Amino acid sequence: MTDEDWRTQEPLKEKIGCSSTRCDKDLHCFRRQFKKKRRLPGQTYRQGTCYECGADLIDWDRLDKKDLKDVGYTFASLQREMFRHRYWHIAIDDKAIKKARKSGLLKLRARIHNRLNSALRPPHKEIFRDGNQTPLSGDIIYYAQHSTSTCCRNCVEEWYGIDRNRNLTDDEVNYFAELIMRYIQYRLPDLTENGIKIMG
């Protein structure tokens, strides 16, 4: 997959979860699988290779730079994980679309920062039910968080190498907010800056 192939992939129809794989379709899971949710001290959620087939497909050092100039590679890499791939291509529900159109890009940007500061910036232990704080639908921000692996601290640790036991920095929050905005502008390119009045 090239840096731009993420734009042309097909949506998946089957029901999937965070650890789902279809390695025969080049859709993997790079999250370490802990037995009975037991994680040893110092152990990261980043597996590095697909836990199912062992495929070594991601340049983690490149992702860890968190370089917005390299966002094409970041987005292409995220789509190699089956769960992320789904959120890049499924239809966005009507409620989420209406809410986004009403908000507009300026309000969405502010909402993204509020969301990240409350539901992602604190360490794992300070977030209520970390791993479950991002709904699967109802808001374009939720779609974007699942697509960009900014939905919980476990996913952030897996994809961006940031220890889930510390606060995110301002630079990290700003980086994730920009990834989310770019996803939103890709999926909903007709959004206006200030939003529109929704009738009915």
The 10s digit of each residue's pLDDT in 71-96 is: 999 999 999 999 999 999 999 999 99
Residue 1 has pLDDT above 50, yes or no: no
Q: Is 36 helix (H, G, I), strand (E, B) or coil?
A: helix
Average pLDDT of the residues in 173-192: 97
For 8-31, the pLDDT digits (tens) are: 555 555 678 999 999 999 999 999
For range 115-123, the mean pLDDT = 97
Output the pLDDT for position 42.
Answer: 76
CB < 8 Å & 24+ apart, contacts of 68-74:
68/175, 68/178, 68/179, 71/179, 71/182, 72/3, 72/4, 72/6, 73/3, 74/179
- Nearest in space to 3 (alpha carbons), one of 68, 67, 71, 73: 73
The 8-class DSSP code of residue 52 comes to: T
